Amino acid sequence: MENKFVQIKDISKIYHTLDDETEALKNISFDVDRGEILSIVGPSGCGKSTILSIIAGLIKPSSGEVFINNKRIEDMNKNIGYMFQSDHLFPWRTIMENVLIGLEIQKKLDKENVDRVTKLLNTYGLKDFKNHYPSQLSGGMKQRVALIRTLAIEPQLLLLDEPFSALDYQSRLAVSNDISAILKKEKKTAIMVTHDIAEAISMSDRVLVLSKRPAIVKTIYEIELTCSDRKNTPLKRREAPEFRHYFNKIWKELDIHVEE
Amino acid sequence: MLKSNQVEEKKYSPEHIQYLKYMKRKNTMVQLSQIALLVLILFLWELSANLNWIDPFFISKPSAIMNLINQFIKDGSLLLHTSISVYEVLMGFVIGTILGTLIAILLWSSEFAAKVLYPYLVVLNALPKIALGPIIIIWAGAGTSGIIVTALSISLIVTIMATFNGFKEVDEEKIKMLQTFGANKFQILQKVVLPATIPTMINTMKINIGMSWVGVIVGEFLVSKAGLGYLIVYGGQVFRLDIVMAGVIVLSIATVIMYKLISILENTLLKWRQ
Ligand SMILES: Nc1ncnc2c1ncn2[C@@H]1O[C@H](COP(=O)(O)OP(=O)(O)OP(=O)(O)O)[C@@H](O)[C@H]1O
Ligand SMILES: [Mg+2]
């Protein structure tokens, strides 16, 4: 048990504002193995982003602990890569300057690292765009740049908060294919938050379902698809016979009522 | 890094070339009309003075003003008055911009200080600074320094407020993004807050050039023995409208040049916008 890569132990979080307090998380516990992709789904506003912020050390939990590699997270952890819903590229920086910002901040801007990042850009179809500005790129490309910016600091763990929800459906499928390929190729461990059940099933090894706020862990599904030798793309995985079955189960579990 | 990759020459369709030509012609028309309008106004002005439609004593006339400006150039007084005023404006403007930005940075870095001081800024901003001119001159000295402080008093608070508000408008998530890389407060300022606020700062500078001129002219009204403001007041006192007009024209030209310089700065700093 103690050698799990990420351990979330009994985390609760209460937000305080002057006129109210909001109980966001209640006794959340789960683990993530090295090299695994875990998705978190849950009703909107249930506390998904809060979990990621706590793991990243951006905010402190009211109680409970997070361990990564058996080290307790106290505050900002430089070994975690965080990817947001929107790309947050700086319009005044070129693509190259944008992806180097993490290394710049961590003062690791040496030739070796720059070469490595350049290679990432080349590999993932951004070779000819290094000196372009973000406004000259499509939404899907920008999201890929944002992922490479996150990967540039060689994080041990990636946190993805609805990384595709700013994209239209077509690019969404394409980019989730790309990003899932990148994650597998670079052998990254990742926790991904999403609204999209199909996306969660097709991209991850396990899917964690949260309840309404205050969020507790309802169920964790091991996704086993007959086509699955993990190298399959999310698009392929959607064709597996078990796909529907997981989809229906999670859908029921989420208990979403239209009239809400 | 930037130069090597200037996108290869693009081949445009005939329709697009037509479009470019049309737009260029339209632009030329606007500029020609602007010049024509100016010529027309000057012509009517000259004519109405010459034909005595309006008494030239009140409005002078373009040819007289040009003669006067020529004469001022020859005897060196134009250079003297202009350079004194420009110096005062630049001092007020530069000090106002730098000091204002520094104070805005201090307010940004301490939420507590910002909360405590903000109401005072609002009140200071509302004060009738021009009416306080005489007092400022008494405090800061009846000379160049007093005039610069008058200009500063008009532009400083506006700079602080505009810049500070610009800082606060920077996207929280962008700051969070940098924090996930472990950025400290200084790095956040340097990498995102300042660059994101540059458009606001440029706009504030454009406003402040005008503000600084107002401050300097008011200061010169009050104390000075030289400068464009002095020239204008003097012309008014001895009923020489041509002197007043000459002063106003030179002042306008100087303002336009300064404004242009800021535009050039804007284009270099905001290259990524094109
Ligand atoms: N800084 C804060 N102060 C007060 N309440 C907050 C704060 N941040 C989040 N909350 C509240 O906590 C709850 C959980 O927020 P969180 O953003 O984690 O939800 P989420 O599941 O990510 O939502 P979404 O599906 O909309 O992304 C929400 O009800 C939200 O209003
Ligand atoms: Mg969220």
What is the predicted pLDDT for the residue at B3?
41
Both tokens of B48, joined, read 């109405």
* Same domain? B211 vs B227: yes
Chain-chain contact of B182 with A91 (C-beta, under 8 angstroms): no
Q: Would the pLDDT of A54 be above 50? A: yes
Ligand 1 binding site (Cβ under 6 Å of any ligand atom): A 15, 17, 22, 24, 42, 44-50, 213
* Same domain? B81 vs B25: no
* B62 CB burial (10 A radius; 0-12, 13-18, 19+): middle
Q: Is B112 on the interface with A (CB under 8 A)?
A: no
Q: Is B177 on the interface with A (CB under 8 A)?
A: yes
What is the predicted pLDDT for the residue at B15?
93
Alpha helices in B51-188 (DSSP H): 56-59, 62-74, 77-109, 111-126, 133-140, 144-168, 172-180, 185-188
* A97 CB burial (10 A radius; 0-12, 13-18, 19+): middle
**Consecutive 10-residue runs of chain B (274 residues): their mean pLDDT?**
48 90 95 95 92 85 91 91 94 95 96 94 88 87 90 92 96 93 94 95 93 91 88 90 91 92 92 78
Rounded CA separation A104/B62 (Å): 60
Q: Which helix (H) or strand (E) holds B267?
A: helix B241-269
Mean pLDDT of chain A: 88
Rounded CA separation B253/B228 (Å): 12
What is the predicted pLDDT for the residue at B69?
92
Chain-chain contact of A106 with B182 (C-beta, under 8 angstroms): yes
* Same domain? B79 vs B213: yes
What is the secondary structure of chain A as a DSSP string? -TT-SEEEEEEEEEEEETTEEEEEEEEEEEEE-TT-EEEEE-STTSSHHHHHHHHHTSS--SEEEEEETTEEP-S--TTEEEE-SS----TTS-HHHHHTHHHHHTT---HHHHHHHHHHHHHTT-GGGTTS-GGGS-HHHHHHHHHHHHHTT--SEEEEESTTTTS-HHHHHHHHHHHHHHHHHTT-EEEEE-S-HHHHHHH-SEEEEE-SSSB-EEEEEE---TT-SS-S-HHHHTTSTHHHHHHHHHHHHHT--TT-
Those residues whose C-beta lies under 8 Å from the C-beta of residue B212, and which sit 6 or more positions away, are B89, B92, B93, B96, B151, B154, B155
* Residue A63 banded pLDDT, cuts 50, 70, 90: very high
* Same domain? B74 vs B38: no
- Domain coverage including residue B131: 62-273
Tell me the pLDDT tens digit for each residue of A97-133. Answer: 999 999 999 999 999 999 999 998 998 889 999 999 9
* Same domain? B47 vs B107: no
Residue at which a domain ends, from B54, B72, B92: B54
Residues of A in contact with B171 (CB under 8 A): 88
- Per DSSP bridges, beta strands A71-72 and A63-68 are antiparallel
* Same domain? B134 vs B248: yes
What is the predicted pLDDT for the residue at A113?
94
* Residue A229 banded pLDDT, cuts 50, 70, 90: low
Rounded CA separation B182/A75 (Å): 10
2-21 in B: which are within 8 Å (CB) of A? Answer: 2, 4-5
Domain with residue B243: its CATH number is 1.10.3720.10
Provide mean pLDDT across the span A229-246. 80
What is the predicted pLDDT for the residue at A226?
79
Range from A191-205, A215-229, B29-43 carrying the lowest mean pLDDT: A215-229
What is the predicted pLDDT for the residue at B39?
95
Interface residues from chain A to B (CB-CB < 8 Å): 56, 58, 76, 78, 80-82, 84, 86, 88, 90-94, 96, 101-102, 104-106, 128, 130-131, 133, 135, 153
Of all protein residues, the one whose alpha carbon is nearest to atom 17 of ligand 1 is A49
Nearest-Cα distance to chain A for B30, in Å, is 30
Both tokens of A208, joined, read 């964690």
Give the three-class secondary structure for B142. coil
* Same domain? B40 vs B141: no
What is the predicted pLDDT for the residue at B199?
94
* B186-190 CB contacts, 8 Å cutoff, 24+ apart: B187/A105, B189/B105, B189/B108, B189/B109
Domains present along chain A, CATH in parentheses: 1-77+191-260 (3.40.50.300)
Ligand 2 centroid, distance to A46 Cα (angstroms): 8
Residue at which a domain ends, from B38, B54, B70: B54
What is the predicted pLDDT for the residue at B192?
96
User: How many domains does chain B contain in total?
Assistant: 2
Q: Is B272 on the interface with A (CB under 8 A)?
A: yes
* Same domain? B196 vs B100: yes
Q: Is B268 on the interface with A (CB under 8 A)?
A: no
* Residue A230 banded pLDDT, cuts 50, 70, 90: low
At B73, the amino acid letter reads: I
Both tokens of B153, joined, read 């008093």
* Same domain? B73 vs B116: yes
8 A C-beta contact, residue B220 and residue B85: yes
Chain-chain contact of A76 with B180 (C-beta, under 8 angstroms): yes
* Same domain? B118 vs B243: yes
Q: Would the pLDDT of A207 be above 50? A: yes
Cα–Cα distance list, B158 to A106, B93, B97, B165, B229 (Å): 36, 12, 10, 11, 23
Tell me the pLDDT tens digit for each residue of B22-79. Answer: 999 999 999 999 999 999 999 999 999 999 888 888 888 899 999 999 999 999 999 9
* Same domain? B78 vs B125: yes
Tell me the ipTM for this assembly: 0.86
What is the predicted pLDDT for the residue at A257?
57
* Same domain? B77 vs B209: yes
Residue at which a domain ends, from B11, B38, B54: B54
Task: Provide the 10 A C-beta neighbour count for residue B223.
Answer: 19
